[in-house]
Amino acid sequence: MAPSKTSFSRYVPDEREMTRVGARLADCLAPGDAVLLIGPIGAGKSHLARAMIRAHLGGQDDIPSPTYTLVQTYETAGADIWHADLYRLGDSSELVELGLDDAFETAIVVIEWADRLPAELVPTDAIRIDIQPKDDGRIVAVTATEKQADTLKSVFDHGG
């Protein structure tokens, strides 16, 4: 049985705050966690993903986009991180060939354009983050299990 999910949303006013949110989100993630990033071009999916990865890597600046390779992997002391971008996904079988389905079990997986991920590959406890531009900032809507949501709300509220 799939875990019950809950949702909340917050306004993130600028890139600086989105970077802070990404770093704090990274602190909440462990091997086996999947973060599904959804939103239009320019919404801030890459910015948020890079902030999460940078936090895990201790501030490394060069976090290349996996737009053409589909996946970039990073090794850290605590967990491997898989950063996927499904914008140019040709066929879902490519994901299985890359080992993404196995990574869901052992790594922290961050996926941009996750709405292109076939439903049968989506982990039941994945954290879904929808990002929509609003004014100069973004509305960030999070859907997660109730336990995850309690922790994730602190990322956005009162500096976490």
The dihedrals phi and psi of 125, each to the nearest 5 degrees, come to: -105, 20
Domain span including residue 76: 5-156
Domain count, the chain: 1
For residues 99 and 60, the model is more confident at 99
Instruction: Count CB atoms within 10 A of the CB of residue 127.
Output: 22
**H or E, element range at 138:** strand 137-145
Provide the whole-model pTM: 0.92
Q: What is the CATH number of the domain that holds 108?
A: 3.40.50.300
Judge whether residue 59 has pLDDT over 80. Answer: no
pLDDT attached to residue 160:
44
Higher-scoring residue by pLDDT: 56, 59: 56
pLDDT tens track for 71-90? 999 988 888 999 999 998 87
Task: Check residue 86 and give its pLDDT.
Answer: 92
